[in-house]
Amino acid sequence: MNTIFLALALLGAPQLSDEALKAQAKSALDATKLTFSASASGKSYTLVFDNEGNRKQTLYFTQTPNRVSTLVTYNIYTICWASKDAPPDEALMRKVLTKSKKLGVFYLFKDTNNFWSIRFSVRFDATEMKESPTADDPLVKALKDTIYLVNAVGEETDKELNGDKDIR
């Protein structure tokens, strides 16, 4: 039996100064040599992938680190389905939320304008990231492959759920 004090991923640890971590995360993204830019809101970096059939998939890498226990994580997500005003129905939720991927999970999101979406997300653990990471660092490679995986799952799910309508 393993005895522990309550530790919840649900609750973030108190926010500390994040500026150094933000700079480190940007360096890590730079080291992947992928093209990215700051989103309009400034909350994320966006990466746009060109996929087969002239389809595109936009990925978001949150700029602000999340902390729990000793861990520092970033959310890398993409939108697979979207609807104005109506949430996904029960059948759609079951179809998507039972999908098991090698890494990451699907979740539902409703923004302040009642815009509903199904997102695929990986919480990337960057706790061990070096201050000035390089392309050869295992964690940079892991970050790059995680980004590729989020794109692949997002595009595959988008195509499955929306057919020719390409959620970008």
Partner 1 sequence: MLFPIPPALICAVPQDDDLKTLALTEQQKTLFASLAQSGFKRLGVQKRALPDESYVTLAAPRAEYKLFVYVTESRTALQREVTVDESKEDAEKLYSPLLKSRFPQLTSSYIPSGDALDILLGTGETTIVLRLASPAQTATPLWLSSALEELDKAAQQLKNPPKATDPSGVTPTDPIGAALKTAGLTFTDIGNFYKLKYTFTDSKRAQFVFVRKAIWEYNSLKIQELYSTFYESETAPSAELTQKLFQKTFTIGGLILEAPSESQKLWRIRYRLDAPTTIPTNTLKTYLQLVAGTADALEKELNTEDKL
Contacts to partner 1 by CB under 8 A: 1-12, 66-71, 73, 75, 87, 89-90, 93-94, 97-98, 100, 102-110, 121-123, 125, 127-128, 138, 141-142, 145-146, 148-149
Shortest separation between residue 106's beta carbon and partner 1, angstroms: 7
Q: Which is nearer to partner 1, 89 or 160 (CB)?
A: 89
Q: Which is nearer to partner 1, 3 or 113 (CB)?
A: 3
| Strand 44-51 versus strand 66-68 pairing type | unpaired
Q: Which is nearer to partner 1, 55 or 101 (CB)?
A: 101
What's the token pair of residue 91? 């059948």
Residue with tokens 């393993």, as numbered in its chain: 2
Shortest separation between residue 164's beta carbon and partner 1, angstroms: 27
Instruction: Tell me how far apart the alpha carbons of residues 15 and 68 are, in angstroms, rounded to a whole number.
Output: 10
Q: Which is nearer to partner 1, 90 or 164 (CB)?
A: 90
Residue 42 backbone zone (phi > 0: left; psi -120 to 50: alpha; other: beta): left
Instruction: Tell me how far apart the alpha carbons of residues 163 and 159 are, in angstroms, rounded to a whole number.
Output: 5
